[in-house]
Amino acid sequence: MVRGIYYGSSAMQYLDEKMDIVANNLANVETNGFKRSNVAFNMHMVAEQAKQRDQIKNELPQGKIFSYLEDTPGVIKQTSNPFNFALEGKGFFTIQTPEGIAFTRDGAFSMNEEGYLTTMDGNYVLGGYGPIRLEGKKFSLSDQGDILADNLILDKFLLADFHMDDLVSKGKNLLVPKMPGLEINEAQPLVKQGYLELSNVSIVNEMINMIAINRQYQANDKAIKTNDDALQKAVSQIAK
């Protein structure tokens, strides 16, 4: 009975976390380059749990709930805006923020008054020589990410490659390495000007997940109440 309450409460904690992530995915269904999150539950010390299976008086080892990003690509949509860029293949744009370097798949950029290419939040987009400056010139882009003006190469997008498991969301559609000092590998995706990568979130799938989570939550809530009632009854009978 106690074990049933323990497992039921652990499941409900996991489902709470999963519901928060599903809600965040749905909130970003129209965010360019957004990568949906998922959640998993990893049990710790399985062998010790087996040893304690018949010793309820001992505290059961805890599990760990963790979230991760899915790297499936979003649909690439043509916008014809020269300041929109999409990456076809692995890689991330490198962004300079006040808190340090961050990465994104969101290529919806603009040019500030000084001629620098920035994100919509005003953060600098980095190239091989630092922040990319267009100087108001009409520019074009090669498939490799070289930025050209008057047939001269001005700069090149600084594109980084990571495994999604090494990144964590920072907010504002930016990602940062989980561990400081993580080695940054150069990425070589196809860079498309006048295109944007859309979110990889499916509204239908997230709604299905939400319904399933609600049903599982209710089932665990009912199981906990059943076990609690049985425990109360057992305690009353022992007292008699």
Q: Note down pLDDT in tens along the chain; length 240 residues.
A: 455 565 666 777 788 888 999 999 999 999 999 999 988 766 554 444 444 555 545 555 556 777 888 889 999 999 999 999 999 999 999 999 999 999 999 999 999 999 999 999 999 999 999 999 987 667 889 887 899 887 788 899 999 998 888 888 888 899 999 887 777 888 889 999 999 999 999 999 999 999 999 998 888 777 777 766 666 666 666 655
For residues 144 and 216, state if they share a domain.
no
Other CB atoms within 10 Å distance of the CB of residue 121 = 10
For residues 7 and 29, state if they share a domain.
yes
Helical residues (DSSP H) of the chain, grouped into ranges: 2-27, 46-51, 203-239
| Distant-in-sequence, close-in-space partners of 205: CB < 8 Å, separation ≥ 6 | none
- Cβ atoms of 162 and 182 within 8 Å: the answer is yes
For residues 44 and 86, state if they share a domain.
no
For residues 186 and 87, state if they share a domain.
yes
Residue with tokens 């980084």: 160
For residues 98 and 26, state if they share a domain.
no
Domain that holds residue 183: 76-197
For residues 181 and 109, state if they share a domain.
yes
For residues 215 and 107, state if they share a domain.
no
For residues 80 and 33, state if they share a domain.
no
Rounded CA separation 222/216 (Å): 10
Total domains in the fold of the chain: 2
Task: Give residue 50's pLDDT.
Answer: 47
For residues 211 and 184, state if they share a domain.
no
Task: Give residue 181's pLDDT.
Answer: 77
For residues 174 and 189, state if they share a domain.
yes
| Distant-in-sequence, close-in-space partners of 204: CB < 8 Å, separation ≥ 6 | none
**Contacts by 83-86, CB closer than 8 A, 24 or more apart:** 83/108, 83/109, 83/110, 83/111, 83/117, 84/108, 84/109, 84/193, 84/194, 84/195, 84/196, 85/109, 85/141, 85/157, 85/191, 85/192, 85/193, 85/195, 85/196, 86/191, 86/192, 86/195, 86/196, 86/197
Task: Give residue 209's pLDDT.
Answer: 93
Residues 58-82: tens digit of each pLDDT: 555 556 777 888 889 999 999 999 9
Rounded CA separation 74/144 (Å): 20
Task: Give residue 178's pLDDT.
Answer: 86
Rounded CA separation 23/39 (Å): 12
For residues 62 and 116, state if they share a domain.
no
Rounded CA separation 13/32 (Å): 30
Which pTM does this prediction carry? 0.79
CA nearest 160: which of 201, 116, 210, 105?
Answer: 105
For residues 102 and 191, state if they share a domain.
yes
